[in-house]
Amino acid sequence: MAHQPLHTPMSQVLEEVAFQKAAVDRLKAEILGVDPNSRKRYIREFHEEYGRYEAISSLDDLTIACYKADIIFIGDYHALPQSQAFAERLLRDIASRSREAVLCLEMVYGCHQRVLDGFMSGDVGEAEFLKGIRYDLDWGYDWNSFHRLFLAAREHGVDVFGIDCGPRAGCRYIRRRDTYAAERIVDIVTRRPGARLVVLIGESHLATNHLPAKVTDRLKKRCIEKRRVIVLQNQEEVYWRLAEKGLEHVDVVTMKNHRPMDGAVFCHFNSSPIAKYEAYRQRIEVWKGDVDDDAIDLTSTVHSMIDTILRFLGVDKYTHCVTRERVCREFLVDVFPEIYSQTQLDDLERLLRTSHRFSPEEIDDVRSHVARNGSCYVPRVNAVFIGEFDMVHAGEEAAHFVNLVLKGEIRERAPRAMPQPDVFYGGVMEEALGFFGSKLIDPSRNHFFETEFYEYYKKDRDTIESKTPYRFDEFNEIIAFILLHKDFESSYENYTEVPRLILDGIRSDPRRANILIHELGYFLGQQIYDAYRAGRLMRKGIAQLFRASYRESGSALGAYLDLCRMVHPDRGKDGSLEP
């Protein structure tokens, strides 16, 4: 095939960022249809102030700044569990190093302080507490995410105060709520002069002329000086600026501060923009449908992921024919998979056993996959089963659907009988494309930061066997296989025969083989993504990978070795699939 024009690495990065922005814009447009508050001046002031970062920082620098401050404002994105998880982690760090710490929460009204005190002391049960503060009516976000904050406060002897007041609906009274919160905070500072205050509040309250300015002004009137720090999370505008420089994995930055005398401003990243807004979209679905979190219909979420991957590959779902036996049977849009949520998983075994004649072993494989990763695409049923929703793993399953539908391998009644090496490397290629597709959904994902194999490499027996599900010898055999395989594939022309360890791994029992397939696939998926970012692999070439079917014996291994050579950072920059 003809070689394609090369992009410079920077133009490739900008192309990808533009693609990601477009996906986020589509999601935000859906949200804006039911959330007009995001257009309000109050919200705009926050985003306009914090649109740029000053310098790359670190979590250590952020934490040290919090230790030195008297008041720590933490911006919360209420619908995002990662946001509360980071706040909990920071609260624990601060409380463990403070003589006295206090937690101030927006989620509880000041008028409910008595029931809050009862809950923290153990005199009031959880159900009574939630009813007493009208949690579902006046807050409505996932309780499990916020509950951990109360548990952390209890463990560290941190007193908790509610600092908000009603009404919350809309932005009409939001500045008055800031005034009330400031008065509550200043009153706590006055009564607890030696305490370090951790204030968790919605991010838009933390523009410097919003709540922080009101607190500072009221303290000055009482001749009280307190050092403060503002900790934001996942600022979208800053994320895009970092991504355009290839820095989307940066954890912490310092922000440009319009009032530097008031203290430092940091931003911590624990989620991508698409994950952030998808969490909010799902919360809106809960509010609109009056359903539990476990029962939320995730069909539009997964189908949106599929749309994102198809757009990247240049596939039009309305005109692309799904063929069987070279005959166009239906259009791609008509075969999008069914999505089954957690509350529907009880029907999983019946569906697989009675309708599609899955064996008990095959059903167990699906169940374990759902339990391990949160979701599983089953091509024979053409359905995605979701247990505990996870953005990147759901993105993987969306990519698996795209891969299998483009190569015409969904709804096949049973796996084709193939030699074990063909099954092995075909699986590796599918895992690689699944991982790559998840990177299109969440570019901040990095295989080498999330896998236990690299985290515990060269650790002692007790650590490995207590922290991983593997025996010490088994763990080291897996590592040895991966390292030898990567050396073999990068210079296989120097080998006279395939090493025995590799052959044994390929022919090993299904459990071990699946681990090796998974690890090699993820490794290759990361390499495909890096090669795309570096300009060594173009979209057209990646689209060919998604369409490639390995029905001939040996074709999957050949494709794997050629692709490994192509994506290796020391190889030539060629966007085609030819070596």
3-state SS assignment for residue 178: helix
- The dihedral sign for the CA sequence 513, 516, 522, 525: negative
What residue type is assigned to position 380 of the chain? Answer: R
pLDDT recorded at residue 357 = 74
- CA–CA gap between residue 547 and residue 406 (Å, rounded): 5
Positions of the chain with pLDDT under 50: 1-8, 572-579
pLDDT score, position 496? 79
With beta carbons less than 8 A apart as the criterion, state whether 108 and 159 touch.
Answer: no
User: Looking at residue 77, what is its pLDDT?
Assistant: 96
pLDDT of residue 259: 61
pLDDT digits (tens, 9 = 90+) for 32-66: 765 556 567 888 899 889 999 999 999 999 999 99
Q: Which two tokens stand for residue 140?
A: 């409505």
How far apart CA 413 and CA 404 sit, in angstroms, is 14
pLDDT of residue 460: 87
The contacts of residue 215 (CB under 8 Å, 6+ apart) are 71, 182, 185, 186, 228
What distance in Å separates the CA atoms of residue 519 and residue 11, rounded to the nearest whole number?
Answer: 30
CA angle at 81 for the pair 338 and 119, rounded to the nearest 5°: 125
> For position 574, what pLDDT does the model report?
43
Q: Who's near 531: CB < 8 A, 6+ residues apart?
A: 537, 566, 567, 569
Q: What is the pLDDT of residue 210?
A: 94
Bridge partners of 76? 202
pTM for the full model? 0.82
Distances (CA, A) of 387 to 27, 138, 141, 304, 409: 23, 28, 19, 18, 24
Q: Is 472 exposed, middle or buried (0-12, 13-18, 19+ CB in 10 A)?
A: middle
Percentage of the chain exceeding pLDDT 70 = 89
Residue type, 328: C
- Is the four-CA dihedral 282, 287, 288, 292 of positive or negative sign? positive
Give the helix ranges, DSSP H, for 33-142.
41-49, 59-68, 81-96, 113-121, 126-132, 135-138
Report how far residue 78's alpha carbon sits from residue 70's, in angstroms, rounded to the nearest whole number: 24
Q: What is the pLDDT of residue 14?
A: 82
In tens, the pLDDT along 279-319 reads 888 888 777 765 566 667 788 889 989 999 999 999 999 99
So what's the pLDDT on residue 7?
45
Decide if 481 contacts 501 (C-beta within 8 A). yes
d(CA 47, CA 32): 16
